[in-house]
Amino acid sequence: MQLSSFIKGRFKAIKYAAKGFWLLITTEHSIIAQVLIACVITVLGFMFHISHTEWLFQIIAIALVLVAESLNTAIEKIADFIHPNYNKQIGFIKDIAAGAVFFAAIFAIIIGLIIYIPKFV
């Protein structure tokens, strides 16, 4: 494989990833809601002057939720494409994918509570 074709391939991959990112944040209501929550939490981080370590945990928590929500959206889109009508097995798969987001959200909330409760006490 030539280096130039490898580099062109990487640029194409970045282009597709950026397109997917844009589609997520402009069309998917669950992602839009999570991004808004992430923005609010980020503003809180600046307001409460959280430490570098707290920032790291907060950023990881935000990323975890956004990645889980993005993958859940992809799984739901694939499932709906494969079987557009209601199907018990597809519903089960979609519920499990949504459960992954719920796990991520629970841990993000726990991290947020650990960071912010001491700021109010």
Residues in the chain: 121
Q: What is the DSSP letter of 83?
A: -
The CATH number assigned to the domain holding 99 equals: 1.10.287.3610
88 in a structural domain:
yes
Residue 1's pLDDT is: 59
CA-CA distance, 32 to 87, in Å (whole number)?
A: 27
Can you give the pLDDT at residue 2? 80
Residue 116 lies in a domain: yes
Residue-wise pLDDT tens for the chain (121 aa)?
A: 587 888 899 999 999 999 999 999 999 999 999 999 999 999 999 999 999 999 999 999 999 999 999 999 999 999 999 999 999 999 999 999 999 999 999 999 999 999 999 998 8
Q: Which 3 state secondary structure label does DSSP give 8?
A: helix
In the structure encoding, which two tokens stand for residue 36, read together?
Answer: 């808004």
Q: What is the pLDDT of residue 66?
A: 97
Q: Residue 4 has what pLDDT?
A: 86
pLDDT at 111: 98
**Residue 9 maps to a domain:** no
Q: Would you call 29 helix, strand, or coil by DSSP?
A: helix
Domain that holds residue 88: 29-120
Q: Report helix angle 3-27 to 29-47, nearest 10.
A: 90
d(CA 26, CA 117): 33
Position 40 in a domain: yes
